Amino acid sequence: QDIYKQIRLAKIENRKLLAILLDPDKIDWKNLDGLLQKINQSPATHIFVGGSLVESTILEDLVFQLKLKTTLPVIIFPGDPSQISPQADAILFLSLLSGRNPDYLIEYQVQAAPILKKMNLEIIPTGYILIESGNETAVARVSKTKPLDRANLDLALATAQAGEMLGNKLIYLEAGSGAKQAVPLEMIRLISQNINIPVIVGGGIVALSQIHKAYETGADLVVIGTAFENDIHFFES
């Protein structure tokens, strides 16, 4: 329960959190040590591991290396129930609330439950909300769901509030990896002001200034994937 407690405490103390998202399919394995060194030097507070289409064996390998060579909590951010590693610290137990595909609302959770029950992973129920981003992202394609209209703030808020009422402990506002447009700042502001649980924001954030704006408007934790994947010096600029 510790990882969630820390996220919750950071929110209460207004300490902002930063996660680097590593997709085992996309990282440069030849330069893994260089990558891990950059992660250790970065301002990241968490590492998320996952992707839309990742094999469990290479996910295990990556989590093993991360636990060996970094001190940051490693949180699984799964694309499907095969992406579970007992070596990680926690898992975001996602429900794709923006979509109406029952597989991502309950079927995969049912498949994952007996596997997770045998492990010691901290489970963090997370309402996952995909926001339209100007391009089709892998999450939308793989989950076969339609993201929420980025202009419809009321619907996004109602979705986040329903997520909180269902008992989720986090709300993740996702534009999708490699999104052309990140989650709108007005949406982050409205949602963070009207729910009590921590808000994660990710997708299409490619500049440090965008990270700060997301924090200022109420994001508690920002996720950076592509920008760091493309440039391991990203946090130094």
Assess contact for 210 and 182: CB atoms under 8 A: yes
Angle between helices 153-165 and 185-194 (to 10 degrees): 40
Nearer to ligand 1GP, 78 or 225 (CB): 225
Element (H, E) at 88: none
**Least distance from C-beta 114 to ligand 1GP, angstroms?**
26
The residues binding ligand 1GP (CB under 6 A) are: 21, 174, 177-179, 202-205, 223-227
Instruction: Tell me which residue has tokens 């202009």.
Output: 151
112 belongs to an annotated ligand binding site: no
163 belongs to an annotated ligand binding site: no
Question: In Å, how far are 20, 102, 172, 185, 210 from 45, measured between CA atoms?
Answer: 8, 33, 17, 22, 17
Say how far apart CA 87 and CA 126 lie, in whole Å.
Answer: 20
**Least distance from C-beta 93 to ligand 1GP, angstroms?**
15
34 belongs to an annotated ligand binding site: no
**Least distance from C-beta 188 to ligand 1GP, angstroms?**
13
- DSSP labels, 133-148: -SS--HHHHHHT-PPB
Nearer to ligand 1GP, 188 or 205 (CB): 205
177 belongs to an annotated ligand binding site: yes
Nearer to ligand 1GP, 1 or 141 (CB): 141
153 belongs to an annotated ligand binding site: no
**Least distance from C-beta 192 to ligand 1GP, angstroms?**
16
Nearer to ligand 1GP, 85 or 133 (CB): 133
Instruction: Name every residue whose Cβ is closer than 8 Å to that of residue 118 and which is 6 or more positions away in sequence.
Output: none
